[in-house]
Structure 1
């Protein structure tokens, strides 16, 4: 029943349209499960995938291996997962380790989520940040590496080649 309700919520929200993040060039600095700090501003020059997810969210878990592979396969992309749920940090760290996810994961407060991002209306919610630090796209619901690659290809500025 929960899966059906979550699926209906995602579909309904998708029909309502999706607004971009609160700020055109959001900031984000979070402590990861590995005890490091992920700072969005230090990722300039790369595409950043900011993925809000939860351990109980089936579509979130389904996309994690694909996001991990995308992160590992591309030098121009960084993925960060933001666990948007009430869970103990040790439990989250154990969960992530069992899933084999290699990209950084941070636990965010559901009552005070990162200020420069909209509160997720459904999970997963994913932001694609361009190399200049601006929101290029926001996705509500599951995505694939192909979806991300397509957006990156359409939004990338071709570089000039010397002749």
Structure 2
């Protein structure tokens, strides 16, 4: 039988590990290669609001929200975005889709078996995260969103940070 101090140390280390991961998730790391072969790093966008949108070419609500997301991101100098194509398909299929459905933000295809570690695995699509200028997650949305949803989330996060 293990000594109680060893057991306690193991529990303490497990707790510390989960706390560290929880801290990381509050300020997620995201480094991807975009469809046009450019490196994209969330950390490089500190100081901006960033919309991280998980979507798929077969997802009707995703396709429906893309023009409005694109217009919102394009209209605001303080907002950037990244679309994460969350599907197991050929890259060329996504390229062809984007020719018919262009957006004003970069798109990256991510592996559905190993999605970005600092983001929850999407339970449905679309799933969108609003990242605050300090790199923290300001809001998570499940399902389609409108520009007014993002605007309200930005205003709420700004108001919460004034306290």
Deviations 1:11-38 (A, max 9, x none): xxxxxxxxx9971000001011111111
Cα deviation for residue 156 of structure 1 reads 1.5
2:122 paired residue number = 120
Structure 1 position 118, deviation (Å): 0.5
Q: TM-score, normalised by structure 1?
A: 0.82
Q: Which runs of 4+ in 1 moved over 6 A?
A: none
Give the superposition deviation at 1:91. Answer: 1.4
**Unaligned 5+ runs, structure 2:** 1-21
Partners of 2:35 and 2:93 in 1: CA distance = 10
- Give the TM-score normalised by the residue count of structure 2: 0.82
Q: Which runs of 5+ in 1 are unaligned?
A: 1-19, 159-163
Counterpart CA distance in 2 for 1:56 and 1:88 is 13
The DSSP-based 3-state class of the residue aligned with 2:54 is strand
Q: CA deviation at 1:102?
A: 2.1
Larger RCO, structures 1/2 (Cα 8 Å, 6+ apart): 1
Question: Which of structures 1 and 2 has the bigger CA Rg?
Answer: 2
Change (3 A) 1:36 1:51: same
CA distance, structure 2, for counterparts of residue 33 and residue 72 of structure 1: 19
CA distance, structure 1, for counterparts of residue 108 and residue 86 of structure 2: 9
Aligned residues: CA RMSD: 2.1
Alignment equivalent of 2:113, drawn from 111, 114, 117:
111
- Is the helix fraction higher in 1 or 2? 2
CA contact 2:71–2:104 (8 Å) conserved in 1: no
- Matched residue SS, 1:35: coil
C-alpha distance after superposition, 1:73-106 (max 9, x if no partner): 0000001100000111111111112102121000
Once the 2 structures are TM-superposed, how far is the Cα of residue 41 of structure 1 from its aligned partner?
A: 0.1
